[in-house]
Amino acid sequence: MSKSDVKKIQAIRGMNDLLPSDSPRWQFFEGKVRQLMQRYGFAEIRMPIVEQTALFARSIGEVTDIVEKEMYTFEDRNGDSLTLRPEGTASCVRAAMEHGLLYNQTQRLWYQGPMFRHERPQKGRYRQFHQVGVEAYGFDGPDIDAEVILLSARLWRELGLLEHVTLELNSLGSSEARAAYRDKLIAYFEQHRDVLDEDSLRRLTSNPLRILDSKNPAMAEMLDAAPRLLDNLDDASRAHFEQLKALLDAAGIPFVVNPRLVRGLDYYSRTVFEWTTTALGSQGTVCAGGRYDGLVEQLGGKPTPAVGFAMGIERLILLLETLDLVPDEALGGSDVYLLAMDDSATAAAMALAEQLRSELPWLRLQLHCGGGSFKSRMKKADKSGAAFALLLGEDEVAERAVTLKALRDDQAQQRIPQAALADTLSEQLTHTP
């Protein structure tokens, strides 16, 4: 086979490489998230990426797009049916139950990592995507619903996104109230069968609430006039919803009640919410979640109230980029590029680099490697984006000094004793300790 016949293997459609030019934005975002979780008293949990298929089928629901059409399911070598996780909630419940975390105690947990759904890829929608998720267990009042919403709102505020996102809120009520409402809704849709599209006809008996979520303009008028779940809530759910709205009002978090917000996963009850933006086109939901008080019991545990959400990291990074909200400092590469002027100073340059890394742990220092002419070394220094080059030649080595050259302005270059270098760099470079 000639070389030109060899077909290059490419990444799987909808699964992205995160390149070095992208990773500073991700690290900036992830750093904010990690701090925020600590500040709110949430502890990190990490679950495996693969679980038994039954876990997702039983929790997300057999008749959902995710389980019906989007899961990466395969048989492993033992013949067990396994699935790449399409979301984190089911795994989190499984792990918390399995390790006794829900026994007579409350938990506030968070996780992040890749999720997998075989959806049609487009901007903001991928087959491997990443979520940050938050799950709280053992709290049944609306205070924790408000607390997790406040946590997300603080993240938007600190990222500069708050004015670009809208909080949509709804209540799905208890499962009993929902079952009664479901019958009403089916009866209504039966009367308007002629307006229903193919997808909706399919969902009519299996998952009629999802029809409410349809974006088909031909059905909009009929859906607007449909009976509203909010008018059919049980008393306890209604009180819960009213209290949550009052808490959000008191906290100064604006929201829009969207009676047609139903979510695409079956485990929800009572509160559901989504943070949406108009700045990303059709994939505008950046964070979504709600209460799922029945799920722990459904998976074989003791009844345990639960609430949480997950945000799509790709969508949030896209939004930060679109709005140019990543600070320049977060994108920066090196502070200093240290180079031997020729190969005779390589060992001395390496020793100085190590010394500086010990003295200034915050310093981002790139050591020149790979030899080359002096000119090419300086070119690399410039390309590194560093503010300063540190040059070490025969004279500097003999004098135990170093030449400091500013790369971004016209400051005269200066020769500094190596012993004074740490102090000089601390003065010249701004850094957050």
Residues that bind ligand HAM (CB under 6 A): 87-89, 117, 119, 125-126, 129, 131, 133, 135, 264-265, 285-290, 292, 308-312, 314-315
Q: Which pair of tokens denotes residue 288?
A: 């979504």
**Cβ nearer to ligand HAM, comparing 87 with 234:** 87
Angle 161-166-168 from CA coordinates, rounded to 5°: 145
Q: Which is nearer to ligand HAM, 117 or 270 (CB)?
A: 117
How do beta strands 166-171 and 256-257 pair? parallel
- Count of CA atoms in the C-beta half-sphere (13 A) of 319: 28
Judging by beta carbons within 10 Å of its beta carbon (0-12, 13-18, 19+), is residue 265 exposed, middle or buried?
buried
| CA 270 – CA 308 distance, rounded (Å) | 12
Block residue for tokens 């639960």: 306
CA 382: distance to chain centroid? 34
CB 347 to ligand HAM: min, Å:
49
Residue 264 or 301: the one with the smaller Cβ distance to ligand HAM is 264
What's the distance, CA 344 to chain centroid? Answer: 48
Between 213 and 342, name the residue whose CB sits nearer to ligand HAM.
Answer: 213
In the 8-state DSSP scheme, what is residue 122?
A: B
Q: Give the largest Cα separation in the chain, rounded.
A: 93
For 415, list phi and psi in degrees, rounded to 5: -100, 130
Rounded least distance, CB 370 to ligand HAM, Å: 39
3-state helix, strand, coil in the chain (%, to 5): 45, 20, 35
Q: Looking at beta carbons only, is 131 or 152 nearer to ligand HAM?
A: 131
Which residue in the shown chain puts its C-beta closest to ligand HAM? 312
CB of residue 10 to ligand HAM, shortest distance in Å: 19
Nearer to ligand HAM, 181 or 268 (CB): 268
Minimum separation from the CB atom of position 171 to ligand HAM (A): 15
Mention every residue, 6+ apart, whose C-beta is less than 8 A from residue 412.
none
CB of 101 to ligand HAM, least distance (A): 16
Closer by beta carbon to ligand HAM, 59 or else 418: 59
User: CB-wise, 133 or 393, nearer to ligand HAM?
Assistant: 133
Nearer to ligand HAM, 125 or 380 (CB): 125
Residue 286 CB, nearest approach to ligand HAM (Å): 5
Task: Give the nearest distance from C-beta 291 to ligand HAM in angstroms.
Answer: 8
For the bound state, the minimum distance from the C-beta of residue 89 to ligand HAM, rounded and expressed in Å, comes to 4
Residue 91 to residue 88: CA distance in whole angstroms = 5
Q: What's the closest the beta carbon of residue 114 comes to ligand HAM, in angstroms?
A: 11
Q: What residue has token string 């070389």? A: 3
Phi, psi of 103 (to 5 degrees): -80, 110
Are 156 and 316 spatial neighbours (Cβ–Cβ below 8 Å)? no
